Structure 1
Amino acid sequence: MTSMTSTTSTTERVAAVWPDAGTVPASRLRGALARRLFLRAVRRLPLTVELPGGRSLGTGGPVMRVARPEAFYRRIGAAGLIGFGEAYMARDWEADDLPGVLTVMAERLPTLVPPWSQRLRRLAVRGMPRDELGGEESARRNVSRHYDLSNELFAEFLDETMTYSAALFEGPASWETLAGAQRAKIDRLLDQAAVGQGTRLLEIGTGWGELALRAASRGAEVTSVTLSQEQWALAVARVADAGLSDRVEILLADYREVDGVYDAIVSAEMIEAVGARYWPVYFRALEELLAPGGRIAIQTITMPHERMRATLNTHTWIQKYIFPGGMLPSVTAIEENLGGLRIMRRLSLRDDYAETLRLWRERYLERVHAVSALGFDEVFHRMWTFYLAYSEAGFRSRYLDVWQFTLGRES
């Protein structure tokens, strides 16, 4: 992510640090097939796709400019949606309204590729690497690759609470209201888990410590676990600065290493990193750690069940570049893996997450020079901007949802 010697050409530099974004795939045949499918698909989309030479396709809408069509088509032909994201990283295409372009595509994702091509894709698509599947060692590596990038990086685009999950807005969303909306989200999770004076609370996924701090301020005794060294260090410092070290213990540990019994358990957007094969393990751990009569509050991003099943064994752009080993569950998948737990209440924060992501993306773009000063290069900026816009589009298109679930035992 950092720059290399100035004697190296830009192309060579990008190829060395970002090999798949810096090197155009060789296959002309796959590129030709991708060109045919792409041009056929965009003709009927509410987009304006501008091609070199003044040619334009689509029925009108957000503008997508294809600057290097040959490289663009070859990347898509070689790697599908991964190649589409890599093409943006490599500047093969541009968009002034990136979330707008991606929202149109997300709304029509199941129909963009003909069924016969989808069947061929399943034969060629790469599965998730085995070393990212979610065992204890791979979970540590997966978490570190994202959350240990740099606390300073996240501080540039997150609000003062350093909270990295959907906020809960009570009115119009703006940067000035974001911190309050994050605290409102946290307070609702704590309320649903009935966290108060003397509550023994387990938090799975510390983040940078805001939830633990707010729980301790209610009088709870908090144990919080994280696999991120960077998050752990900052969260411990924040707890000490607040004078709450006697009420909060933050452990650098896997959820599978936790023992004891807790009156309440809270976990905000952590199950997405667990890995599909470990969903039963995660919910069994919650059940075993929960005291009789206790409550659990989790917040989780979900996707439609059929789309989840279709992508269960594939490697995606998000997994390759942002969240290795990650997998979004469906609501059905959660219900099927609850064991002896049941969902007592649920609340969707889908529109709130779209706004949260918009604010993060806009803040990141405002602070991009400060991020560069941390050592992150231009390809990283395009990757991170694409990630935030891609996620925002998922919620705006209603392809993704995010829920707060209140769980208790069946009895």
Structure 2
Amino acid sequence: MENLNTSVETTGSGSAPMLSRFARTLVIQQLRLLAEGQLTVRETGFEDLVFGDGNTGYPPAELIIHDHSTWRDLLTGGSVGAAEAFVAGDWSTPDLVALLRFFTRNVDRMNEFEDRFSWVTKPTLKGLHWLNRNTKEGSRKNISAHYDLGNALFETFLDPTMMYSSAIYPSAESTLEEAAVHKLDTICRKLDLQPADKVIEIGTGWGGFAIHAAKHYGCHVTTTTISREQLELAQERVRQEGLEDRITLLFDDYRDLEGQFDKLVSIEMIEAVGPQFLDSYFSRINALLKPQGLALVQAINMPEQRYQRALKNVDFIQRFIFPGSFIPSFGAILESVRKESNLVLTHVEDTGFHYARTLHDWCERFMARRDQLEAMGYDQAFRRLWHFYFAYCEAGFSERAIGVAQLVFAKPGNKRESILSV
């Protein structure tokens, strides 16, 4: 077995095109700099390569190269290239999360490497992302591209609440459904929902929050989505619950919402806003709340140190899963709040590790339904893409490369005391 500082090639080394051999050399040079955890690379015709430190306590990671073009994809494409090669079957691993956690743990080194070589693909990716910016028309197109893939797809891995956002697990033994319900109840209690409250929700999903709040807290919820498929299923679920008198479903852009409400909820919708429209988002939240109002925003967030770089790049999620998406930092959020509102931040709770577990549960359910997904028309390439998506995000939350938090904002007229006992 080969270790960090040598590179022994055997009879297979001459079979790959020159560009792939050159890419392999450069990628291996970079892998030698990664020290957080241990990675073994296996490739037919070459000695095994071992990188990093096996004494760090992290699970070992393994990368198995099946096609030499993988090296070129890794060199020039970053996370986008890695995903494309995985979907094509050009590489595999016995533990995808462990492998992606290894690279995420060494993210600063990997970013340095990607910045040096991504000039080949970066202009195209940035151009495509710019075309996907979240104007009113663009937002509908972007949301449709993901959420209108078919409600049946999402039903294969979501629990019966149909909550497509981080759950909060009250115990190690909790099921996904129990954790989703606990998250919903946590939100309602943080907002101190009362039967007389008029609540506005930005981002209906499939109606999970609206149904829970109206059913268990007796309030009236007005909620909006711009996904046609979500709207239709949410309407059906509201009818089944007999809550038509307490839930108003809209098919409107959040920028077009009007009225005054006691409470506002937006669960992981901010990621679909885009940096150019973050001010507009908080301006609308501010305008929709009564002088004594409260808002809870559940937001995936980027560490401050990496936010500016993220704005200049396009990752796997933006390219293949959520077109037009972005992850704000707390600094970006609070700057928009400062400029566009008189909202006061009164509470923040990070639940990033709960999201890692949520994604793990989603992935297990998704992978267990391969045959069902195949019969529904979702081919192997699609299933491999979504496997990568779940694992990529689980790795990110597990290593704190990204986080998720519930932020509660109060209007100055709201004098409620601390909610830390929730």
Deviations 1:41-93 (CA, angstroms, capped at 9, x unpaired): 3334511111222521224512111111x210222344232111101111111
- Alpha-carbon shift at residue 40 of structure 1 (Å): 1.8
| Matching residue of 1:369 | 371
Match of 1:211, as an amino acid? F
Instruction: Indicate whether 1:178 and 2:176 are aligned.
Output: yes
Report which stretch shifted further, 271-280 or 193-202.
Answer: 193-202
| Matching residue of 1:251 | 250
Alignment of 1:8-407 (within 5 A): 31-43=20-32, 44-45=34-35, 46-57=38-49, 58-59=51-52, 61-68=60-67, 70-112=68-110, 114=112, 118-119=115-116, 121=118, 125-126=122-123, 127-129=126-128, 130-172=130-172, 177-217=175-215, 218-338=217-337, 339=340, 340-407=342-409
Match of 1:231, as an amino acid? Q
Deviations 1:305-358 (CA, angstroms, capped at 9, x unpaired): 232210203222111110000000111111111132221101111111110000
- Alpha-carbon shift at residue 125 of structure 1 (Å): 1.4
- Alpha-carbon shift at residue 213 of structure 1 (Å): 0.5
Match of 2:39, as an amino acid? L
Moved over 6 A (4+): none
| Matching residue of 2:9 | none
* Matched position secondary structure for 2:156: helix
User: Following the alignment from structure 1 to structure 2, what is the Cα–Cα distance between the partners of residues 407 and 137?
Assistant: 29
Match of 1:66, as an amino acid? I
Q: Contact between 1:33 and 1:77, CA under 8 Å: does it hold in 2?
A: no
Closer/same/farther in 2, CA of residues 54 and 160 from structure 1, 3 Å limit: same
Deviations 1:223-277 (CA, angstroms, capped at 9, x unpaired): 0000111110011110011010011011111101110001000010000011111
User: Following the alignment from structure 1 to structure 2, what is the Cα–Cα distance between the partners of residues 31 and 253?
Assistant: 49
Computed over aligned residues only, the root mean square deviation of the Cα atoms, in angstroms, reads 1.9
User: Following the alignment from structure 1 to structure 2, what is the Cα–Cα distance between the partners of residues 351 and 173?
Assistant: 15
User: Following the alignment from structure 1 to structure 2, what is the Cα–Cα distance between the partners of residues 261 and 121?
Assistant: 47
Q: Contact between 1:192 and 1:295, CA under 8 Å: does it hold in 2?
A: no
Q: Contact between 2:61 and 2:99, CA under 8 Å: does it hold in 1?
A: yes
Give ranges in structure 1 of 5+ residues lacking alignment.
Answer: 1-27
Alignment coverage as a number of residue pairs: 381
Closer/same/farther in 2, CA of residues 125 and 33 from structure 1, 3 Å limit: farther
Match of 2:167, as an amino acid? A
User: Following the alignment from structure 1 to structure 2, what is the Cα–Cα distance between the partners of residues 281 and 119?
Assistant: 35
Closer/same/farther in 2, CA of residues 155 and 293 from structure 1, 3 Å limit: same
Greater RCO, 1 or 2 (C-alpha within 8 Å, sep 6+)? 1
Give ranges in structure 2 of 5+ residues lacking alignment.
Answer: 1-16, 55-59, 414-422
* Matched position secondary structure for 1:364: helix
TM-score (norm 2): 0.86
TM-score (norm 1): 0.88
Closer/same/farther in 2, CA of residues 173 and 206 from structure 1, 3 Å limit: farther
Deviations 1:169-188 (CA, angstroms, capped at 9, x unpaired): 111155xx111111111111
